[in-house]
């Protein structure tokens, strides 16, 4: 499977995205329907878990602060009050997924931002690169 994160393309990854060395996002396609399935842990700036998504469904949502809208081809997680996008994943084609936009904290409390042109966390940023993950994880930060 391939994934675009911002303007970066990661080919042949196993579905796991590590952020600062810790698995934070896992994506897969349902074997029979092809629907996008996402596991995601959302943290605050102190590294405390605020929400957890399992198979594209919120299983833990402290203070009901987040909402998820999903179709077979898109998962969109937003802050309920502000409408700010926390995470947006889209199916591009049979092998490709796009993390089109997002803004959330890592388990270490650092802010990760994904835009159409780049991803950045702390002082690291990447834009317009292609990587072959060779069947492994995608590492950010």
Give the pLDDT confidence score for residue 11 in this predicted structure: 97
pLDDT in tens, 33-85: 999 999 999 999 999 999 999 999 999 998 899 999 999 999 999 999 999 99
pTM of the model: 0.94
pLDDT of residue 139: 95
**What is residue 120's predicted lDDT score, i.e. its pLDDT?**
96
Can you give the pLDDT at residue 62?
84
CA distance 99 to 117: 11
Do 78 and 86 meet the contact criterion of CB atoms below 8 Å apart? yes
- Spell out the domain ranges in the chain: 2-121
For 73-87, b where at least 16 C-beta lie within 10 A, e where not — what string?
Answer: eebbbbeeeeeebbb
pLDDT average, residue stretch 81-102: 95
């Amino acid at each position: 499977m391939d994934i675009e994160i911002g303007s970066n393309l990661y080919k042949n990854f196993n579905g796991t995205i590590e952020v600062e060395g810790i698995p934070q996002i896992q994506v897969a396609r349902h074997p029979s329907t092809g629907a996008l399935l996402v596991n995601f842990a959302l943290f605050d700036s102190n590294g405390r878990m605020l929400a957890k998504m399992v198979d594209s469904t919120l299983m833990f949502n402290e203070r009901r602060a987040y909402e998820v809208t999903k179709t077979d081809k898109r998962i969109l997680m937003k802050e309920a009050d502000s409408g700010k996008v926390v995470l947006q994943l889209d199916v591009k084609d049979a092998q490709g997924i796009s993390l089109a936009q997002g803004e959330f904290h890592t388990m270490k409390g650092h802010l990760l931002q994904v835009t159409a042109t780049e991803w950045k966390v702390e002082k690291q940023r990447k834009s317009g690169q292609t990587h072959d993950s060779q069947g492994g994880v995608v590492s950010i930060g």
